[in-house]
């Protein structure tokens, strides 16, 4: 099944961390479609009704050209790559989220500059509410991904949000047999992981993930974010997947705690927030 990713492009052609991640992660590249999104910043000389300055046009072209060249060189199909240039309307972070929702993409891929835009949301309580209320698309945060990493680590805590994370991982891994899945449960004395693993396995199997590709691991820790990061590095996982429960909701892997810390601190592995 074909997947459609919204790949955000910054004005720094050398900071293509999102492109670097997808290049190394996917082998069946004919199944992936991209929309490259470049947000033109608003300036005193550039408003909604005036055209972008010439240097902004050149920067945009260079950024998009670099991303397209990277994807093509990796083996992605040129007919599956589209470009979209949009003027900044609210903030870059909110504009990215809005485009992700409108396009019904399977995920939004953020590189280094995209992370700084996401931090705008984390540092703004009003924007946090917008994110919680309106985001419909998983976010992939690619902070210095390492190309030689493989496999996916999925945090499961029994919440429906974490099961959606399992579904998301299964959807993208169905055609990528080179990756295995490790289901990670952080034991804080609340509930046994047996039923959690059972349900997660069932969901992965619905995506045709063979039982031989699935591993379970339960560990005890009072610092879940640190434990997950340690597991990700020790196992050299390509991606870590966590669910989004929202502010004030139950669940270990929440955007307001564990996932936020991972978003700021996790390197080497991409972080998928579902």
- In the chain, domain spans: 3-141, 152-273
3-141 CATH fold: Rossmann fold (3.40.50)
Same topology, domains 3-141 and 152-273? Answer is yes
| CATH number corresponding to 152-273 | 3.40.50.620
Distance CA 229, CA 149 (A): 14
Q: List the 239-242 sheet strands across, edge first.
A: 81-87, 32-40, 3-9, 107-110, 139-141, 270-273, 239-242, 152-155, 181-187, 214-220
Could you tell me which residues are beta bridge partners of residue 154?
183, 241
Phi, psi at 110, each rounded to 5°: -110, 135
Q: In the prediction, which pLDDT does 113 show?
A: 52
Note the pLDDT of residue 112: 59
Q: Which residue has the tokens 């020790």?
A: 234
Tokens, residue 168: 């998301």
| Mean pLDDT, each 10-residue run in order, the chain (274 residues) | 92 80 97 92 50 48 87 95 88 85 92 57 47 76 92 93 95 97 85 86 97 95 91 98 64 58 87 92
The DSSP result for 35-63, as a single string, is EEEEEEPPBTTB-TTSPPPHHHHHHHHHH
Give the three-state DSSP class for 149: coil
> Exposure of 147 by Cβ count < 10 A (0-12 exposed, 13-18 middle, 19+ buried)?
exposed
């Amino acid at each position: 099944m074909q997947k459609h990713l919204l790949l955000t492009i910054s004005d720094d052609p050398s900071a293509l961390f999102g492109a670097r991640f997808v290049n190394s992660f996917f082998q069946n590249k004919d199944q992936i479609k991209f929309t490259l999104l470049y947000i033109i910043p608003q300036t005193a000389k550039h408003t909604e009704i005036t055209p972008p300055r010439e240097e902004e046009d050149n920067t945009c072209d260079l950024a998009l050209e670099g991303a397209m060249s990277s994807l093509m060189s990796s083996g992605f199909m040129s007919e599956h790559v589209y470009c979209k240039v949009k003027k900044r309307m609210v903030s870059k972070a909110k504009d990215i989220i809005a485009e992700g929702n409108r396009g019904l993409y399977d995920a939004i891929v953020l590189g280094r500059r995209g992370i700084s835009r996401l931090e705008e949301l984390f540092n703004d309580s009003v924007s946090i509410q917008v994110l919680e209320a309106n985001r419909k698309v998983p976010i992939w945060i690619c902070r210095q991904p390492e190309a030689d990493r493989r496999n996916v680590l999925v945090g499961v805590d029994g919440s429906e949000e974490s099961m959606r994370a399992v579904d998301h991982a299964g959807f993208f891994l169905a055609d990528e047999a080179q990756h295995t899945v490790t289901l990670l449960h952080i034991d804080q004395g609340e509930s046994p992981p047996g039923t959690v693993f059972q349900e997660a396995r069932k969901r992965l199997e619905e995506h045709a993930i063979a039982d031989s590709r699935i591993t379970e691991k339960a560990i005890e820790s009072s610092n879940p974010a640190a434990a997950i990061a340690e597991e990700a590095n020790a196992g050299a996982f390509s991606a870590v997947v966590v669910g989004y429960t929202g502010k004030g909701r139950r669940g270990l892997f929440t955007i307001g705690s564990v996932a936020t810390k991972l978003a700021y601190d996790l390197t080497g592995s991409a972080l998928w927030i579902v």
